[in-house]
Structure 1
Amino acid sequence: MKLKFDSFLLALLIAIGLAYFFPQAVLFQDGKFIEAVTTVGVSLIFFFYGLKLSITDIKYGLKNWKLHVVVQLTTFMLFPLLVLPFKSFVANAVQENFWLSFFFLAALPSTVSSSVVMVSIAKGNVPAAIFNASVSGLIGVIVTPLWMSLFLDFHTENVFGDVYWGLIREIIIPVILGLLLQRYLGGWASKYSIRLAQFDKTVILLIVYSSFADSFSSGVFRTISTSYLVYVFIGVSVLFALIYGILYVLTKYVLKFSVVDQITAIFCGSKKSLTHGSVFGKFLFLNNPSAGLYFLPLMIYHAFQIFLVTIIARRYHRRKEEESQ
């Protein structure tokens, strides 16, 4: 079975390398230039998302409410509750950053495009996948900051309000504008969907570069050892395995979902969005020198989920073909 190489993962590594060797670029005009570029870029990402959002598919997907409840509760409740108990083992600043980076990963919404693509490959319930992936990002605008506010200091100078206003300004309003203009620009967005996806990735790379450049400049990475990275890999692997295993047992043996709904629940419920994580982190970790550390589990999880879920999706696809024959 041949797996397609994901060039975006290589691009992420290059962005981190550039941040390490050339962190001074982020300080151009006291950081205001790169902040302005990412602000405009993020707004455009979600404006284009609004242009491409299928209301018909969302309406059709509303019917299967049990599936939606499972996916959303897994994304915003089960994930954080699996990580939350380990807070009691935190004993120093390094462990605090380690735990918080995983809690940030756990509190994020599911992916949009990759969830739908993987469900489609595995011959799952595609309309339900579109619904859950689309709704997850909007729910995350509200829920993710609420989870993170329990452990980040948002109570000074109205920081909590600033975080929400930033997310509304750069996510919700552009999505609404995209929906309103979908009638006029929707065809254009569909025609150039591949180029728009490349634009999305470019903005994410810029945010990742900026976050890691700040962290490298502050010297926060000098406080961690190689074993720290090993523990991140182990933590990501265990978290994914737990979520996937729980969803598999729950949907197959407890709720007895059909195979197509089981595929959708597992694939959508086990994913986390690097796009939303990059955007949310821009507000949640503003001026935080440890921002680069907080993105590490998310980026590794992104690579992990693409690799493993691609293998699993193709196995489901092959099984379906064998059954049809």
Structure 2
Amino acid sequence: MGLLGRLRKDWFMVGILVVILSARLMPSVGVKGGPLRPEITIAYVAVSLIFFNSGLSLKTEELTSALLHVRLHLFVQSFTLIFFPVAVWLLLQAAAIFNSAFGSFLGIVVTPLLLLLFLGSSSSLPFSSIFSQLFMTVVVPLILGQVCRRFLREFLERRKLPFGAISSAVLLMIIYTTFCDTFSNPNIELDLGSLLLVVVIIFSIQLSFMLLTFTVSSRSALGFSPADTVAIVFCSTHKSLTLGIPMLKIVFEGYEHLSLISVPLLIYHPAQILLGSVLVPTIRAWMSSGPKSSLLLR
């Protein structure tokens, strides 16, 4: 694959770098009160558009058969929403589709609750207004998207609209305005040493949890198939920019260090892709081999 082909394939990763650089060069365009009016266009319109788009594209009719894999879903959601945040705190195609969708629904409620738990009730964050805005900009557009899909399903399936590309483009706008606020504040800096340390920590956490979920889910006593185990490994450790960045924007609206809070998630996303591509040959060999418990860990 040539350079142009690689850029087309990974355009979103390139786009993140471009919008951050653009924010560095022209922060005045995307700051609050600037020409883009992000306090309206981003906080309400862009976030709502992402989740309306998600509602349109979410094929809930394909999730019915996946509902039967109860043990798999319990494992994935328990690890994602219970074990993962607790561990961090202490350290201060159908199954995967189902858990991606189901995790997003749960994340809308569970993530703010985890913030309340970790930050404490004395936190200055206005949780009542946060939940209200989450409902209006996330839940309502998602439901409207699903209602519209019910009437437009044949049209949508026939036209094959680029839902993922649309959400990614809107997400780049959110990232741009987030970093515009940061670069317009001369008191906020992130040195290279700290950034490299965050990269090392993110990769270490993700790889450790992937190995942990594989070790546990591949045990024959749990009864998961090799395909189930692969879905568990990737779904349990998955963190979504599409949900995460808008939620950070809502929860920490007005906080001057918002972009710095976003950095770990911005690193985690490409780390998922990189680790996934690196592990594909090993996983393929493991799935086609006889003994399923040791090959992947060699």
2:29 aligned residue: 25
2:40 aligned residue: 36
Q: Once the 2 structures are TM-superposed, how far is the Cα of residue 181 of structure 1 from its aligned partner?
A: 1.9
SS in structure 2 at match of 1:181: helix
| CA separation of 1:310 and 1:193: change in aligned 2, threshold 3 A | farther
SS in structure 2 at match of 1:218: coil
Q: Deviations over 1:2-61 (max 9, x none)?
A: 995512111101111111111111236357722322221221222222222222322111
Q: Which amino acid aligns with 2:62?
A: D
SS in structure 1 at match of 2:238: coil
Contact kept, 8 Å, 1:189 with 1:196, in 2: the verdict is: no
User: 5+ unaligned residues in a row in structure 1: which ranges?
Assistant: 88-125
Q: Once the 2 structures are TM-superposed, how far is the Cα of residue 313 of structure 1 from its aligned partner?
A: 3.3
2:86 aligned residue: 81
Residues 232-251 of structure 1: pairs in structure 2 closer than 5 A = 232-251=198-217
- Larger CA deviation: 168-177 vs 311-320: 311-320
2:192 aligned residue: 226
Residues 256-275 of structure 1: pairs in structure 2 closer than 5 A = 256-275=223-242
Q: Which amino acid aligns with 2:247?
A: F
Distance across 1 between alignment mates of 2:168 and 2:156: 16
Distance across 2 between alignment mates of 1:191 and 1:221: 48
Q: Which amino acid aligns with 2:185?
A: S
Contact kept, 8 Å, 1:220 with 1:290, in 2: the verdict is: no
SS in structure 2 at match of 1:147: helix
| CA separation of 1:148 and 1:220: change in aligned 2, threshold 3 A | farther
Distance across 2 between alignment mates of 1:312 and 1:44: 34
1:214 aligned residue: 181
Distance across 1 between alignment mates of 2:160 and 2:51: 13
| CA separation of 1:156 and 1:308: change in aligned 2, threshold 3 A | closer
2:13 aligned residue: 9
In percent, how many aligned pairs have the same letter?
28
Distance across 2 between alignment mates of 1:206 and 1:28: 14
Q: Which amino acid aligns with 1:70?
A: F
- Answer yes or no: is 1:170 the counterpart of 2:137: yes
| CA separation of 1:42 and 1:188: change in aligned 2, threshold 3 A | farther
| CA separation of 1:153 and 1:10: change in aligned 2, threshold 3 A | farther
Q: Deviations over 1:144-195 (max 9, x none)?
A: 0111123458768881011111111111111111222223222343455553
Q: Which amino acid aligns with 1:8?
A: F
Contact kept, 8 Å, 1:48 with 1:189, in 2: the verdict is: no
2:268 aligned residue: 301
1:144 aligned residue: 111
Distance across 1 between alignment mates of 2:288 and 2:112: 43
Q: Deviations over 1:108-156 (max 9, x none)?
A: xxxxxxxxxxxxxxxxxx2111111101001001110111123458768
Normalised to the residue count of structure 1, the TM-score between the two structures is: 0.79
2:293 aligned residue: none
Q: Which amino acid aligns with 1:233?
A: V
- 1:63 corresponds to which of 65, 68, 84: 68
- Larger CA deviation: 72-81 vs 139-148: 72-81
Distance across 2 between alignment mates of 1:190 and 1:154: 46
Contact kept, 8 Å, 1:154 with 1:160, in 2: the verdict is: no
Across the aligned residues of Structure 1 and Structure 2, the Cα RMSD in angstroms comes to 2.6
Q: Once the 2 structures are TM-superposed, how far is the Cα of residue 259 of structure 1 from its aligned partner?
A: 0.3
- 2:172 corresponds to which of 183, 205, 223: 205
Question: Does 1 or 2 have the higher relative contact order (CA < 8 Å, sep 6+)?
Answer: 1
User: 5+ unaligned residues in a row in structure 2: which ranges?
Assistant: 291-298
Q: Once the 2 structures are TM-superposed, how far is the Cα of residue 214 of structure 1 from its aligned partner?
A: 1.1
Q: Which amino acid aligns with 1:274?
A: L
Q: Once the 2 structures are TM-superposed, how far is the Cα of residue 256 of structure 1 from its aligned partner?
A: 4.3
| CA separation of 1:139 and 1:47: change in aligned 2, threshold 3 A | same
Distance across 2 between alignment mates of 1:47 and 1:137: 13
Distance across 1 between alignment mates of 2:179 and 2:162: 26
Distance across 2 between alignment mates of 1:189 and 1:29: 37
Q: Once the 2 structures are TM-superposed, how far is the Cα of residue 75 of structure 1 from its aligned partner?
A: 1.0
Normalised to the residue count of structure 2, the TM-score between the two structures is: 0.86
Contact kept, 8 Å, 1:220 with 1:289, in 2: the verdict is: no
- Larger CA deviation: 181-190 vs 301-310: 181-190
1:101 aligned residue: none
Distance across 1 between alignment mates of 2:98 and 2:281: 22
